[in-house]
Amino acid sequence: MNTELLERIENKKAKLEDVKIALKEKFIGIDDVIDKVINNISLWYLTPEIQFKPLIISLWGITGVGKTDLVRTLVRLLNFTDKFIEIQMDVKNEYSRTIESYLDNSGIESNEPAILLLDEIQRYRTIDEAGRMIENKYFNDVWVLLSDGRFQNNSRRRADLIQMLMEEMYWIDRSDDDNNDKDTPNIETENPKKNKIYKYHTSYWTASRFKKMLNLQMSTEEIMKMTLGERMKIMEDTLKIGNVNEGKSYEKLLIFISGNIDSAFKMSDDVEDSETDADVYHELSKRVNIVKIKTALATQFKPEQIARFGNNHIIYPCLDKKSYYTIIKKNCQQILDRIKKEHHIVITLSDTIYDIIYRNGVFPTQGVRPAISTVFNVLGSNLPYFMYHALINDVDSFYLDYKNKKLFSTINGSKISKEIILDLDIIRENKSIDEKMLITVHELGHALVYALLYKTPPKQININSSGLSDGFVINHSAVDNKTFIRNQIAIYLAGQAAEELVFGENFKSSGASADITFATDVAGRYVRVYGMNGTVSRIDREVQSTSFHMNYDVDATNIEIEKILSEEKKRATDLLNKNIKVYKELIRFTITTNDITINDFLIICNNFDMGIVPKEINEKLIYSYDEKVRHFLEQ
């Protein structure tokens, strides 16, 4: 038994476990990602000697989820800081135009384990939106490195090596001028000055260059101690072998590729959205898989380049609500701990403060940075005010709360308060009462018709948005069928139907324009694409030549589409009228509380015996096909 190897592996396994624990303490909400990273690097870390090509791990996710920071922290915890290179793939450096030059200048030996991060890889795209080639002048050797870890042969290396040694001989020769000895210096002793013995016979720069050119295993200091004759002997032996021009091999590299592939994470475009529940985006992001990643990469890279990324794709989910709250509390506590350590004042925060930070700081598609920034905006700029009052009253602890736009505390019997500015809350509050009523009626119309048709509440109802939309309802994903598509049209038109019911035909708003557009699109596909209204052929406008033959009689279907829209709007209106009592109760509750959660919606509906059952956020609406097939087989 190789006890030395076993002991080394056991020690490294324990180290990896400690690293995993430390990473999970620092990074909230990505435990699965951390587990996958540690699992993937185990072989590279435990037994690097058996690795014969670089290990490539690709990290994908929206901005601000911790891709780059995770790699940097991993490097530090593994004590690989001196063997780590980070390259921003969108940075143009005239002095380092290749990946090989970065590695050469890093001091990393080609035969030793090291870590390379290729960050922002999406900015190094090689094809544009139209599929045309993009010529990159930098880092073209990245694809060779990703292939097998070996760079291309360098035909100049042999000539450069000989030139370097000839130049050294020249300067050694010059160094004897003071002795008027014109003979070539003795290359065995390499010291024409008879009375002095040197420890080193060449500079660090020359020795390092010599070592890299010949890919030597010995240390740079050992080469510095060699005489010129010894170095020439090594060069002579290498030239005889004939592999001096061979490209360097970095087979023991761990290469992380990191990027934001927006076409895979479609939600990443919703940068203004602070209203959609983080749990909704979290579940949406969990649907991104390796197939979607490769499909998205195909819009930016050539197929042979995508193949070189390999199959170790680790996908970051958007953070959920619980993770954001944990991150907010953790960052708040760091500030409070620092105050306690430096000023001996203990501050306790109410949950209301965490709520306002979440409400004004979390943009789910932008990651943690806006939330952390808001922590410092709320606490960093306001705590000194309360600390001052604590100090002048000789108080060493206080409780901080929030209400009515003010932070407040009671210090030594006196109530101290300070007004704070919360931009998103201000936007929400700036809506007039009439605007809020209009939005409430409209959005609850969508929500109630949805619940009646599917017997489940929507994923989220928002009647007080600070974003581009005044309000919205988020529905579950569905596996479409004829009935579900008709339901979808009715739900889209339910907002306008609700406005007509409450405000009358003459005072319905223009807020349903997007709803009507979506409903018309669905109805058009229902007739022209899906063949669900008595048609069989694919019906389309004749706009360009195509290899497919279509039915171009579009006009005949316009009447059918309008008929379907009218029927589904009437169905939405009838559903609202039939359930007018629950609809009124939903409106009353929302007006009173200025909000309505899904749980509130569910309770109110079931108070009227509607039989509404909640579904998980990631649960799809789908017809019971399994039951239908079994029934068919039993007939």
Q: What is the pLDDT of residues 360-392, one digit of tens each?
A: 999 888 889 999 999 999 998 899 999 999 999
Contact present, 123 and 300 (Cβ < 8 Å): no
Q: What is the mean pLDDT of residues 21-37?
A: 95
Q: What is the mean pLDDT of residues 410-430?
A: 84
Q: Check residues 109 and 500 and name the one with the higher pLDDT.
A: 500
Q: What is the mean pLDDT of residues 417-446?
A: 85
Query: 545 falls in which pLDDT band (50, 70, 90)?
Result: low
- Whole-model pTM: value is 0.76
Q: Check residues 166 and 173 and name the one with the higher pLDDT.
A: 166
CA distances to 171, 233, 573, 603, 611 from 607, rounded to whole Å, are 96, 94, 22, 6, 9
Q: What is the mean pLDDT of residues 249-258?
A: 92
**Mean predicted lDDT score pLDDT of the chain:** 86
Contact present, 235 and 213 (Cβ < 8 Å): no
User: Distance (Å, rounded) from C-alpha 192 to C-alpha 184?
Assistant: 9
Q: What is the mean pLDDT of residues 23-50?
A: 94
Q: What is the mean pLDDT of residues 77-99?
A: 84
Return all residues near 632 (Cβ < 8 A) that are at least 6 apart: none
* Predicted local distance difference test score (pLDDT) of residue 530: 92
DSSP H/E element including 400: strand 397-403
* Predicted local distance difference test score (pLDDT) of residue 518: 94
Query: 179 falls in which pLDDT band (50, 70, 90)?
Result: very low
The tokens 């195909």 sit on which residue?
A: 298
The tokens 């209009």 sit on which residue?
A: 438
Q: What is the mean pLDDT of residues 190-212?
A: 71
Q: Is pLDDT at 155 greater than 70 in this prediction?
A: no
183-211 in b/e burial notation, b at 16+ Cβ within 10 A? eebeeeebbbeeeeeeeebbeeebbbbbb
Q: Is pLDDT at 25 greater than 60 in this prediction?
A: yes
User: Distance (Å, rounded) from C-alpha 447 to C-alpha 463?
Assistant: 11
Q: Check residues 159 and 75 and name the one with the higher pLDDT.
A: 75
Following DSSP, what letter does each residue of 170-239 receive, concatenated? Answer: HHHHHTTGGGT--SPP-TTT----TT---S-SS-HHHHHHHHHHHT-SS-HHHHHHS-HHHHHHHHHHHH
Q: Is pLDDT at 153 greater than 70 in this prediction?
A: no
User: Distance (Å, rounded) from C-alpha 333 to C-alpha 131?
Assistant: 50
* Predicted local distance difference test score (pLDDT) of residue 506: 94
* Predicted local distance difference test score (pLDDT) of residue 465: 65
Q: Is pLDDT at 469 greater than 70 in this prediction?
A: no
Residue-range domains of the chain with CATH = 3-152+250-315 (3.40.50.300), 157-241 (no CATH), 321-425 (1.10.8.60), 431-633 (1.20.58.760)
Tokens at residue 133, please? 């080639």
